[in-house]
């Protein structure tokens, strides 16, 4: 069974940093791209970014709203993708989901991890 499990969410002060993780199982993680998507409370979904596989040079793409602040990485030996968030703002408060990539879409989703940016 394909499964993604996010972790590492929590409370962080504005201007601070946080790194969340996405642990994968049940598929060939090393060959798969991974997306990050967030959802603010009561609002819609926002695509954050994605990282491709080693075969595609670990290429990343990010939404303009997080460019220069958020970085996506992966460790294929641990079947885990990461979202490093720096210079956090209150508007970054959201549930953060990771998802597999499938034919230009998101495929299987994790259950999400909550990040709260507040003083």
Partner 1 sequence: QTVVTQEPSFSVSPGGTVTLTCGLSSGSVSTSYYPSWYQQTPGQAPRTLIYSTNTRSSGVPDRFSGSILGNKAALTITGAQADDESDYYCVLYMGSGIRVFGGGTKLTVL
Answer yes or no whether residue 106 interacts with partner 1 by CB under 8 A.
Answer: yes
Residue in 84, 70, 81 with CA at minimum distance from that of residue 108: 81
| Calpha distance 113→37 (Å, rounded) | 11
Residues 51-90 interacting with partner 1 (rule: CB under 8 A):
52, 59-61, 63-64
Q: Which helix (H) or strand (E) holds 74?
A: strand 70-75
| Calpha distance 76→80 (Å, rounded) | 6
Q: Are 44 and 34 in contact (CB under 8 A)?
A: no
Residues facing 3 on adjacent strands: 25
Smallest gap from residue 84 Cβ to partner 1 (A): 18
Answer yes or no whether residue 45 interacts with partner 1 by CB under 8 A.
Answer: yes
Q: Are 51 and 60 in contact (CB under 8 A)?
A: yes
Smallest gap from residue 15 Cβ to partner 1 (A): 26
Q: Which residue has the tokens 């220069």?
A: 68
Judged by CB under 8 A, the number of residues near partner 1 is 26
Region from 8-16, 21-29, 40-48, 84-92 binding partner 1, contact rule CB under 8 A = 40-48
Answer yes or no whether residue 35 interacts with partner 1 by CB under 8 A.
Answer: yes
Answer yes or no whether residue 27 interacts with partner 1 by CB under 8 A.
Answer: no
Region from 16-24, 77-85, 86-94, 104-112 binding partner 1, contact rule CB under 8 A = 104-112
Interface residues toward partner 1, by CB under 8 A: 35, 37, 44-47, 50, 52, 59-61, 63-64, 97, 99, 102-112
């Amino acid at each position: 069974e394909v499964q993604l499990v996010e972790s590492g969410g929590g409370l962080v002060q504005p201007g601070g940093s946080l790194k969340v993780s996405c642990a994968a199982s049940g598929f060939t993680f090393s060959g798969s791209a991974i997306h990050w998507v967030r959802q603010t409370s009561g609002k819609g979904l926002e695509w954050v970014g994605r990282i491709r596989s080693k075969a595609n040079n670990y290429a990343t793409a990010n939404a303009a709203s997080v460019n220069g602040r958020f970085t996506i990485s992966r460790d294929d030996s641990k079947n885990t993708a990461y979202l490093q968030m720096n210079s956090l703002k209150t508007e970054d408060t959201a549930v953060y989901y990771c998802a597999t990539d499938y034919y230009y879409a998101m495929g299987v989703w994790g259950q999400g991890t909550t990040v709260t940016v507040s003083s």
